[in-house]
């Protein structure tokens, strides 16, 4: 079992990684003409306990999307964040942190169906890949 200071350091590292991601996505979304609002969500982790983490609401016209942290760790990843189409909470894309950077896994509606989002074709998270996913989510919402 980890010492309390180790747990605090793990939580701080995860929250900083999330904060950096939220700021980047928010900047890109604004550049892509989406409205944004940062919120906090409550999370519970078997190792970190209960804590609050940043999340981001994005809106363009009547389309609303939530960027929500899911887990500090997952097999092969050091963080998972989902993009949900609101209000149905349809998870359309997931972001995984591995190899020192964020990668977006997005199931293109016309693509072959995959059992889990983590098996969707990954792309490095860039402003262009975010734009592609947001555009796809808008088409899916219509």
Phi-psi category of 89—alpha, beta or left, where left has phi over 0 and alpha has psi -120 to 50? left
How confident is the model at residue 86, as a pLDDT?
87
pLDDT score of 110 more than 90:
no
Per-residue pLDDT band at 66 (split at 50, 70, 90): very high
Query: What count of residues does the chain have?
Result: 142
Number of compact structural domains in the chain? 1
Tell me the average pLDDT of the chain: 87
Position of tokens 């906090």? Answer: 40
pLDDT score of 1 more than 60:
no
Q: pTM for this one?
A: 0.86
The stretch 84-98 carries a mean pLDDT of 85
CB of 105 closer than 8 Å to CB of 118: yes
For 76, the token pair is 């092969």
Per-residue pLDDT band at 51 (split at 50, 70, 90): very high
Candidate from 11-25, 63-77, 101-115 with smallest mean pLDDT: 101-115
- Highest mean pLDDT among 44-48, 86-90, 111-115 belongs to 44-48
Angle at which helices 127-141 and 4-31 pack, to 10 degrees? 70
For 16, the token pair is 């900083």
pLDDT score of 117 more than 50:
no
Domain that residue 48 falls in: 4-141
How confident is the model at residue 82, as a pLDDT?
94
Closest of 36, 82, 41 to residue 59, by C-alpha = 36
């Amino acid at each position: 079992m980890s010492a309390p200071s180790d747990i605090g350091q793990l939580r701080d590292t995860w929250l900083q990684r999330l904060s950096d991601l939220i700021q980047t996505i928010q900047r890109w979304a604004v550049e892509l003409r989406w409205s944004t609002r940062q919120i906090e969500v409550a999370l519970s982790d078997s190792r970190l306990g209960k804590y609050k983490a940043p999340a981001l609401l994005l809106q363009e016209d009547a389309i609303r999307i939530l960027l929500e942290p899911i887990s500090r760790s997952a097999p092969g990843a050091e963080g998972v964040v989902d993009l949900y189409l609101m209000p149905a909470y349809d998870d359309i894309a997931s972001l995984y942190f591995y190899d020192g950077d964020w990668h977006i896994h997005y199931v293109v509606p016309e693509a072959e169906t995959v059992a889990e989002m983590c098996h969707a074709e990954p792309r490095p998270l860039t402003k262009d890949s975010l734009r592609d996913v947001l555009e796809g989510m808008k088409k899916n919402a219509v």
